[in-house]
Amino acid sequence: MVLNYVSQDLGINIPNLDLNDIRRIVRTQADGTLPYDVARINQKLRPASHRVEFIPSEGNSFHDIEEELEGKRPVIAWILKTVDNIGFYHAVVITHVDKDRLIVGYDDPMFGKQEYPVPSFLNDWEECENNLLIRLSIDRKPPQKELEDFPHDLNAGK
């Protein structure tokens, strides 16, 4: 969802990764993906036309979510989801906040597009402890080469 947004809506060339590639890279298991494993995809995004990076952070506020959205950056939040009286932690991509209607909208990989009242969303988000978000950082400058991008044989050019 987020990578499609980066590629299609922002026009940034990123490596073509299918869902199976992404699941393998971020170590998704039957019970989901651990929040800090999402950042494992950053290395695969290095060849992008811009520096694109996922940054997990704890201790966030609702204002932090609003700031990310105002900056046209989708943000991933972990919430407590309950289905058939079974609760589980679940990641959603927050797409908008409607301040007039007091609604949070998000894309849910299991349940599609959802809208919830802000108080309900906050309750589910705060249940996950540490108010975890994964922010998207996009540097508009082309990425710099890293040391490992250069040949390791210093005598190769002689």
pLDDT in tens, 111-123: 889 999 999 999 9
Q: Sketch out the chain's domains with CATH numbers.
A: 2-137 (3.90.70.10)
pLDDT in tens, 70-106: 988 889 998 988 888 888 888 899 999 999 999 999 9
User: What confidence score (pLDDT) does residue 117 get?
Assistant: 97
pLDDT in tens, 29-68: 777 788 888 888 888 887 777 778 889 999 999 999 999 9
b/e per residue 13-22 (b: at least 16 CB within 10 A): ebeeeeeeeb
pTM beyond 0.95: no
Distance CA 145, CA 83 (A): 46
Distance CA 106, CA 138 (A): 20
Q: Residue 155 — very low, low, confident or very high, per pLDDT cuts 50/70/90? A: low
